[in-house]
A and B are shown apart, each in its own frame.
Chain A
């Protein structure tokens, strides 16, 4: 028996976490909103089977699955678009712009700001590294919780996070060799 008030109480408060994760996977506010709604409906359907502990991780695992599926669907539809005749006039660079339909202010304003550059690099990281960084740094989740959400081993999370950070740092250093020296 699903209690709506219990769902309200346990799951709805994590809407920000849900949206943030969906946003960083899909990199579009609209797509993220859709994915979050879809995820909440799925969560509601599965609420009977939910143990009641770790609602945020439980929800985020659902959000992640939904967002990954949405991403797949988007890629498929984009392939169709690329092949279709009426889109031929569209240049390849236009299509490359499409992944991020959210005109992030970071892209326009002060490109030398480390914060901005870092978030830009974050969007370029492979998804497998990006989402665990989001879960770790934005949600402050433990390796065990991230492992649960992504259905991987804790050791894998540990090495992936290390690789993700090294990669991000390298990308940042390539852009501006100063970064390492002016630490704090």
Chain B
């Protein structure tokens, strides 16, 4: 075997990766050739040095791996393990759902009460200030554009003079930290504030479409949802006529 050819195979010889015939031929040459002998020796010694560069995993890595895998396992649980985990999953889901419902109901009623107070305050404030209106117009086509840039949605504005609820105008009100549209209607001498804003996604999913009617400190408060919006109407007008207004809106 020529030395140049053998030299290329010394690496594989050291690794015992040659076929029997090749191994015989190459090792015969190496025995006779000092250059190739040195090469084989160097390769073996280099291999030992490289092996000595082994880096052990840090002590905490196993736990980190287990944690990562556990997270992944949890994330994939519903889709992967119906066979054995199905029932447990359903059980856990039901428990979670019930806990969620309880939490939600508590939270909602609290939120509802909070909102109710805010609405009522906004209404009373508008009466006290004697300026319930920032834009005075009975024309929906004037009022609606006025809201552009003042609030981040376009409220439906309709004059209801034909039904005995003339539109006096509108203003922007802050309720629960967000800007909402306040439409001001009049019935005889009663001012009716109608607050409206787009219903939040969470509320839609929570199926909170129930109407609320309440009489607080002499004011009738009406709440409903329609066409993706939440409405609150407040007035000292009687409840029956408030409902009439609700139907018109």
Contacts and interface: CB of A to CB of B under 8 A. Distances in A.
Contacts of A172: 46
B56 A19 contact: yes
Contact of B46 (A2, A15, A134, A169): A169
Nearest to B71: A41
B11 A165 contact: yes
Given A1-B80, A40-B69, A133-B50, A18 B17 contact: no
Nearest to A158: B12
B58 interface: yes
A82 interface: no
A1 B57 contact: no
Judged by DSSP, the binding face of A is helix
Nearest to A18: B57
A162 B11 contact: yes
B83 A142 contact: no
B41 interface: yes
Interface string A131-171: 00110111010110000000000000011011001101100
A149 B50 CA distance: 19
A179 B80 CA distance: 57
B15 A161 contact: yes
Given A2-B80, A161-B12, A165-B43, A29 B58 contact: yes
B11 A161 contact: yes
Contacts of B84: 1
Given A19-B57, A115-B52, A122-B50, A158 B11 contact: yes
B50 A134 contact: yes
A119 B80 CA distance: 44
Given A16-B57, A143-B17, A183 B81 contact: no
B31 to A, nearest CB: 16
Contacts of B76: 2, 45
Contacts of A12: 62, 65-66
Contacts of A183: 38, 41-42, 45
B121 interface: no
Contacts of B52: 115, 119
Size class of B's contact patch? 35 or more
Interface string A15-37: 11011100110000100110011
Given A1-B83, A169-B43, A33 B58 contact: yes
B73 A2 contact: yes
Contacts of A114: 49
Contacts of A32: 55
A138 B53 contact: yes
Of B12, B49, B62, B76, the most chain A CB neighbours within 10 A belong to: B49
A122 B41 CA distance: 18
Nearest to B82: A1
B56 A41 contact: no
A19 B61 contact: yes
Interface string B9-53: 111100101000000000000000000001101110111011111
Contacts of B68: 37-38, 40-41
A22 B139 CA distance: 71
A41 B41 contact: no
Interface string B141-184: 00000000000000000000000000000000000000000000
8 contacts: A2-B73, A12-B65, A24-B55, A40-B68, A41-B68, A41-B71, A169-B46, A184-B41
Interface of B: 8-12, 15, 17, 38-39, 41-43, 45-47, 49-58, 61-62, 64-66, 68-69, 71-73, 76, 80-81, 83-84
Given A19-B57, A138-B53, 11 more contacts: A16-B54, A19-B55, A24-B53, A40-B65, A41-B68, A118-B50, A137-B46, A137-B51, A158-B11, A162-B9, A183-B38
Interface of A: 1-2, 4, 7, 12, 15-16, 18-20, 23-24, 29, 32-33, 36-38, 40-41, 44-45, 114-115, 118-119, 122, 133-134, 136-138, 140, 142-143, 158-159, 161-162, 165-166, 168-169, 172, 179-180, 183-184
